[in-house]
Amino acid sequence: MGKGKLAKFADMASYPHVFEYPHSVAEQVPFEMKGHWREQFFKNDNPIVLELGCGRGEYTVGLGRMCADKNFIGIDIKGARMWTGATDSLREGMTNVAFLRTNIEIIDRFFAPGEVDEIWITFPDPQMKKVTKRLTSTAFLQRYASFLKPDGIVHLKTDSNFLYTYTDALVKVNNLPVEVNNTDIYGSSEEFRMQNSELNIRTYYEQQWLDRGLTIKYIKFHLPQGVTLQEPDIEIELDDYRSYNRSKRSGLQTSK
């Protein structure tokens, strides 16, 4: 039997590398480490990389293992899930991994301008009904731009054809510089896989989607500073499969 939620939350409260500031708390308590993550927590000058919607923290921990010369922060509101990665990284004595439990909608309260180098968005809910909730929407990209370094990098790894198509269109309409755009990373060449080795990290749910025959898409693009982004004017066919925690879709439907 797995460890209960209350016990996991108790563990998280005691972990030195976990910071818990849900919306209700963040409004009342200032986050004094904003702008000081490197010197006050990581104790180095290495680049800071965020994983948004980190879930169990598998990708954050996996990236931390692969890249000792970077600092990684997994962000999610669901602490019971985050406990897995937080516990694994603590047991392994990883000094380049931290976790922040908060709402992504207020993420700009925790990082100063230019403090973050890269953002990973791994398998988020595609939010097919509401544009402003998509983690690659202009609303969120403008938030990220407020604390990313100039020309910082955004990575999207997703099983959702809807979210991939939307993000691809958004990137194109705004002429954002793209480094990689791949619609089937595991079906790509060995050379591609070697050049993008961080994509080989597989989460629990990612493996479930792969087992069901879904392809994994990936876009890596730069986010310039001081630009006003616009939403793509495009109709997109909704994902017609029942994904984990996603509602059933049937028939040909489209959404902007």
Would you please indicate which residues are annotated as catalytic (active-site) residues?
125
Compute the distance between CA of residue 176 and CA of residue 182 in angstroms, rounded to an integer.
16
Which tokens go with 121? 């968005």
Helix, strand, coil percentages for the chain (3-state, nearest 5): 35, 20, 45
Give the distance between the most distant pair of CA atoms in the chain.
53
SS3 label, residue 195: helix
> What is the number of other CB atoms lying within 10 angstroms of the CB of residue 205?
17
> Whose CA is closest to 138, among 149, 125, 161, 154?
154
SS3 label, residue 172: helix
Compute the distance between CA of residue 60 and CA of residue 201 in angstroms, rounded to an integer.
10
Q: Which residues pair with 73 in a beta bridge?
A: 50, 98
Torsion angle defined by CA atoms of residues 28, 36, 153 and 148, in that order, rounded to the nearest 10 degrees: 60
Which tokens go with 42? 């990581």
> Whose CA is closest to 201, among 54, 100, 76, 102?
54
